[in-house]
Amino acid sequence: MEIIIGRKPETNQLKIVIGKQAKVCGTENSVPNSVSRTHFCLTSQEGGGFMLTNLNPANETFVNGVSVESKIVTQQDKIELGASRYVFDWGYIAEVSPVLVDIRPLRKVWENYNSERRKIQVQQGRFNAIKSLTGVLTMGAMVAMFFENNKEGNSGGFNIRMVLYVAAIVFNIVAFVITYINASKIPEKTEALDRKFRQRYVCPNPKCRHFLGTQPYDVLAQGKGCPYCRAQYKAK
């Protein structure tokens, strides 16, 4: 991230530019003419702090009282601009800099949610398989009856048919009981899971905390930032 600091000549206020966004800070005529329109820039460093770079040899930039052309600085350093030694206020950077939030903990939230949803789906699928078995047993009984009608003196077909019919009745009773139980348990479990997910899969920015929707974490991590507070994501 590169931040360009200078003076707005029309009002003699401090002008800070980050990307395509510009912000004017301070009151009118608060910045002396010795501060140029584009005086210096700050480039954020991976290890922390900023690289300060003087943007014009004619500019005068001081760090802790020493004139510099470039130097690694932090917000504990005192920066002065121009012959009049205008003191740069680090607080203005906090006002215009985008918030950086770490979304990596959300990966676990998404994985847990996705895993629990799959378990519910598997449970429902197994129940549906049990229900379908009653139809298979009924069809088996019909096949046994067909062979019974085509084989004289075969008492085994009757026994098989009766066994299959009884098994179908038993499985129908089991399926009814499971349906009755799951009619309330599965929706309640799904609703509780979704509610917990909506509470945890939110923007990490304490000032935002908006729910980020049901898009997978990998898709979320590819985005530029929160659509609500515009905080930038740290995903690596």
- For 131-157, write each residue's pLDDT tens digit: 665 665 555 555 555 555 555 555 544
pLDDT band (50, 70, 90) for residue 18 = confident
Residue type, 8: K
The pLDDT, as a whole number, for residue 113 is 94
Structure tokens at 207: 């000032």
Q: Under 8 Å CB-to-CB from 219, ≥6 apart: which residues? A: none
> pTM to 2 decimals?
0.52
pLDDT in tens, 86-98: 999 888 877 666 6
The pLDDT, as a whole number, for residue 158 is 52
Over 90: is that where the pLDDT of 212 sits? Answer: yes
Single out the residue of 95, 171, 176 nearest to residue 139, CA to CA.
171
pLDDT band (50, 70, 90) for residue 123 = confident
CB–CB of 5/88 below 8 Å? yes
Q: What is the rounded CA–CA span in Å between residue 100 and residue 74?
A: 17
CB–CB of 56/104 below 8 Å? no
The DSSP 8-state label assigned to residue 73 in this structure reads E
The pLDDT, as a whole number, for residue 166 is 65
The two most distant CA atoms of the chain are separated, in Å, by 119
CB–CB of 63/54 below 8 Å? no
Name the 3-class secondary structure at 122.
helix
Least confident span in 16-30, 72-86, 156-170: 156-170
The arithmetic mean of pLDDT across residues 210-229, rounded, is: 88
pLDDT in tens, 157-181: 456 656 656 666 666 666 666 666 6
In this structure, are strands 40-44 and 2-8 parallel, antiparallel, or unpaired? antiparallel
